Amino acid sequence: MSPRRVYLNLGVFAKGYLRSRVGLFFALVFPVILILLFGAIFSNSSTTSVDVYVQNLDHNSPLSLQFLEALNSTKVVHLHFVSPSVGNLSKWLAANDQSDGLVIPAGFAAGYFNKTPVNLTVITNPQDATTSGIVYGAVDGVANYFNLQRANGTVILNVQQLSPPTLGGQSFQYIDYLVPGLIGFSVLTSPMFSMVNISSEYKKEKLFRQLSLTPLTKSEWLSSTIIWYIILTLVSTVIMVAVGQGAFGAKVTLSPLMLPFLVLGPILFTSLGLLAGSISKDPETAAVIGNIITFPMMFLSGTFFPVSLFPPWLVTVAHVLPLFYVIDGLNAAMLYGNVGTALFDMAVVGILALILFIASVRVFQWREN
C-alpha cells in the first residue's frame, strides 16, 4: 500500500465531498440541528427514571425504609419491592427479564448505628452502561449522604455492584445521552449513506474501472475513503460536544477513550456501506438495502433515547446492532468514565470493523471477473 496514493485519493475524495453541499450538510450540520431540536424539546424534562427491584432483607427496619425513601426521592430510579422469600435477587431478575436490583442486607440498620461496614449490593446489566451508571450513581449518592450524616463521611454503607462501573454518582439529563447518541448517529449515517451511494454509483458509472486503470489499488482507495470519514467524524464530534455543552450544558467530556470509537466506527460503517453497495445490482437497490440496514440501527441503538428505556425484547434487538456498541461505548467514555464497558464495546466494534473491512475488500470489484 502506498501512503502517497492514499493521500492523493484522499485529496480528490475530500474535494468532491466538500464541494457537494448535500454531503457536508448531512455530515456536519444535520446532527447539530438534531441536537438543537431534541435538546430544546427535552431540556426541561425530568431525568431518566430506571426501574430498580429492591429486596429488603433488613425486615423493613425504619432506617432501611428511610434509605429507600431517600433513594426514591432522587427520581432517577423507580423502586419496586421484591419479597425476601424469592431468594437470590440476581436469579429472580434474570427469571423475570429485569436487569437492575438492590439488596439491603440483614443487619443494615444495626451496622449503620454501630458504625460497622454494611455492604449494599447493586445488580446491573454489564452491557448497559447507561442504566448501570444511573442505578449505581443514585445508590452511591444516597449511601454517601447517609455516611456523612452518621460518621462524618467515614464509609459505613458500602455500595457493591455485581457488575460495577468504575465511577458514577451523577444523575443525567436527556441532553447528556443525546450528545453521545448523535455522535454515534453521525458515525453511522455519513459513511453508510455515502458509501452505499458511492459504491453503487461508481459501479454503474464505471468509475471503479476507471481507477483500476491507474496504479491505485482498491485497498488504497478504501483506506483513503475511511480516513476521510474518520476526519469528518472527529470534526463533527467536536462541533456536537461544543454545541451540547454550550447550548444545553451537557455533562459530556472529550475523553481519550472516545477515540477508538471515532476511528473504528467509521471503519465499520464505511465497510458495511461499501458491502451493501457492492452486492446491489443498481443504485436504487443499494439505496433500499442501505435504508433497511441503517434505519433500524439509527433508532434502536440508543441514538435518541437510552436503550434502558426500551422493553426487554427491544433491548435484545439493540444488542445485535453494531451501532449499539458504538453508542454504549461513547456513553461509557463520555458520561461514566466506565473503562470496563468501554473496552468491551471497543473490542466488539473492533472485531466487527475488521471482519467487515476484509469482507468489503473481497466483495467489491475493482476489475470485472
What does the block give as the cell for 188? Answer: 453511522
Choice from 3, 15, 25, 81 touching other proteins (CB under 8 A): 15
Residue with cell 439488596: 103
Q: Of 90-98, 165-173, 215-223, 277-285, which segment contacts other proteins by CB under 8 A?
A: 215-223
Half-sphere exposure for 265 (CA within 13 Å, toward CB): 33
Decide whether 59 or 206 has the Cβ nearer to other proteins: 206
Choice from 49, 197, 212, 245 touching other proteins (CB under 8 A): 212
Maximum separation of any 2 CA atoms in the chain, in Å: 82
Dihedral angle, C-alpha 301, 174, 145, 66, nearest 10 °: -80
Q: Of 77-85, 101-109, 208-216, 288-296, which segment contacts other proteins by CB under 8 A?
A: 208-216
Choice from 44, 83, 152, 369 touching other proteins (CB under 8 A): 369
> d(Cα 39, Cα 33) in Å, to the nearest integer?
10
> d(Cα 299, Cα 305) in Å, to the nearest integer?
8
Alpha-carbon separation of residue 268 from 11, 191, 326 (angstroms): 22, 9, 10
The yes or no reply on residue 209 touching other proteins (CB under 8 A) is yes
The yes or no reply on residue 281 touching other proteins (CB under 8 A) is no
Please choose, from the candidates 176, 168, 337, 191, the residue with its C-alpha nearest in 3D space to the C-alpha of residue 275.
Answer: 191
Using the CB atoms, write b or e for 3-14: b if 16+ within 10 Å: eebbeebbeebb
Q: By three-state DSSP, how is residue 78 classified?
A: strand
The yes or no reply on residue 85 touching other proteins (CB under 8 A) is no
Decide whether 8 or 167 has the Cβ nearer to other proteins: 8
Touching other proteins, residues 116-145 (CB under 8 A): none
Choice from 22, 44, 62, 213 touching other proteins (CB under 8 A): 213
What does the block give as the cell for 286? Answer: 443499494
Q: Of 141-149, 202-210, 223-231, 276-284, which segment contacts other proteins by CB under 8 A?
A: 202-210
| CB atoms inside a 10 Å sphere around CB 304 | 17
Touching other proteins, residues 216-235 (CB under 8 A): 216-217
Decide whether 311 or 367 has the Cβ nearer to other proteins: 367
Choice from 19, 62, 256, 313 touching other proteins (CB under 8 A): 19
Smallest distance, Å, CB 367 to other proteins?
5
The yes or no reply on residue 24 touching other proteins (CB under 8 A) is no
Task: Give the interface with other proteins as residue ranges (CB under 8 A).
Answer: 4-5, 8-9, 11-12, 15-16, 19-20, 205-207, 209-210, 212-217, 367-369
